[in-house]
Amino acid sequence: MLTALSVRNIVLIDALDAEFAAGLCALTGETGAGKSILLGALGLAAGERADRAQVSAGRDDGSATATFRISDHPVIMALLADAGLEIDPGEDLLLRRRVTADGRSQAWINDQPASIGLLRQIGDALIEVHGQHDGRGLLDPKTHRGLLDDFAANSKQRDDVARAWKALSVARDRLEDLEASRKTAAEQEAFLRHSLEELDALEPLANEEPALAEERKFLQNAEQALGELDEARAALETDGGLSTRLNAALRGMEKVRAALGEGDSGSAGSARSALDRATGALDRALIEFTEAEDALADAADTFQIEPGRLNEVEERLFALRAAGRKHDVAVGDLSAFRVEMAEKLDAIENADDRVKEAGKALKAAEATYDLAATKLTRSREKAGSAIARAVIKELPPLKLDKAQFRVALETDVTKPGASGRDRITFEVMTNPGTPFGPLDKIASGGELARFALAIKVCLSVGEVGLTLIFDEVDQGVGGAVAAAVGRRLKRLAETGQTLIVTHSPQVAAMADHHWKIEKSEDGKGRVRTTLRPLVGDARREEIARMLSGENVTDAARAQADELMGAV
């Protein structure tokens, strides 16, 4: 819903700030006051094409900012997310557009730079314009199928078709892939079979290469390491070995202790204490030395390798690496590649059977899709007839009693898709004997807007979040017809927001909110457009003016009271 519009330096508007509300909003004013300028500024903010002629004379640039309350609109949020733009839940949406005097244009969404294309996509989801300058909404046949489906409430049928189409596409792709594989099978089979035989003989394992490389490095250094260990052991055994000398020293200590006797006093006690420390140190040294000898022996045992093991490891490692280079596959992936080769060979050997199975699956998918699409078409045909009957009933009160409306549905079984096989177009006939045709080709001016009004009323009561704009839908009508137009606009606005540019007092009197677009001269002789909200007596005076013209009479005021009181 549009909540505010801010315009700067656009044609005759120097500065304009307006707030809008839900319900039926009437914009009135004398002919030429600038209603089209105001709508043009809103369209500019919503992504319509910019023109340097929109910039006020003598200004470098002009801008328009439209604020919308979107209530986390799913379509809008998806568009913003796809574009990488952020907006907090519940935050208003600000669409801002700037156009320079040399024709350049920029766009922002909540003060974040955005493309003009994105601005228009969002504008299309927020605003629908009907009237002489309608460039969106019902005039675009691409929207007709969605509108018909919404009226038909056929979401289940649409979901069934979408699922069937996806399954059909998968089945078709599988058959095409299998047939393409079968064509190249003869060329590939010999190579695959030979390669698979080589890999089967090799039997590569996952993560085998790092282990082999590490073992190879160990084996390459084993002989040198064993020699150095032997030298270390020999050094420990030189001149009778350190353990022999340590044991001899301990025996000498025992003899000295025996000679000193058992006394603890005097010099003998001090000597015995020193001997105890020396004996303990020799014991520890002997233990450590013995442990070192044992560790050296254990280390030497680990380097006692099987003869020829280095050659075996190198042959295996080089064979794996050669296979990897041959097939352009990492050595660690050879095992998985072997499985893949086996699957390909199996597919070739059983290609005919697989193609037959895929063909049967495709036929089944086609039958499922055909059934689902047919049901969807029937739901659309039924809904199209119902819409046509409803719209035709709405036409006479809108002074379109000679007109006809229909929903043209063309089913092309050669062009299936996820949304079915139907092309939907809303068509009208304005006079008996003339052919049906698209809205924009057959109807014109206010007639076009009244057709749109009738269709919108029948398709739905106001769409939440959508701002409907009707530009002079009451053109060329008055009295009862204008009142009929007003009542339908009122119905559309009950659950949403409808803006109506009108010259009809009957329509303006039914509005929930009313603004007057005025043109005036400033002190320098320049003509400027402003927008003034009307309430109370000011609104009564405007409706009376619309009834009687420039000279407002008491009778016109009384009639204005009557019109507003009848709402």
Average pLDDT over residues 420-442: 88
Q: Write down the residue that tokens 């109506």 correspond to.
A: 500
What local confidence, expressed as pLDDT, does residue 109 receive?
95
Hey, which residues does 95 pair with through a beta bridge? 66, 109
Residue 460 reports pLDDT greater than 90: no
Residue 144 reports pLDDT greater than 80: yes
Write the pLDDT tens digit of every residue in 203-245: 888 888 888 888 777 666 665 655 565 665 565 666 556 666 6
Q: Where are the alpha helices (DSSP H) in 50-154?
A: 74-82, 116-126, 144-152
Hey, which residues does 515 pair with through a beta bridge? 27, 533
Comparing 136 with 125, the larger pLDDT belongs to 125
CA distance 510 to 483: 9
Residue 342 banded pLDDT, cuts 50, 70, 90 = confident
What local confidence, expressed as pLDDT, does residue 165 receive?
97
Which of the 8 DSSP states describes residue 306? P
Strand-strand pairing, 404-411 and 422-429: antiparallel
Residue 24 banded pLDDT, cuts 50, 70, 90 = very high
Highest mean pLDDT among 59-73, 156-170, 292-306, 523-537: 156-170
Closest C-alpha among 453, 452, 446, 454 to residue 475 = 446
Average pLDDT value over all residues in the chain? 84
Average pLDDT over residues 118-142: 79
What local confidence, expressed as pLDDT, does residue 211 receive?
82
Residue 202 banded pLDDT, cuts 50, 70, 90 = confident
Q: Other C-beta atoms within 10 Å of 116: how many?
A: 15
What local confidence, expressed as pLDDT, does residue 256 receive?
63
Comparing 431 with 378, the larger pLDDT belongs to 378
Residue 80 banded pLDDT, cuts 50, 70, 90 = very high
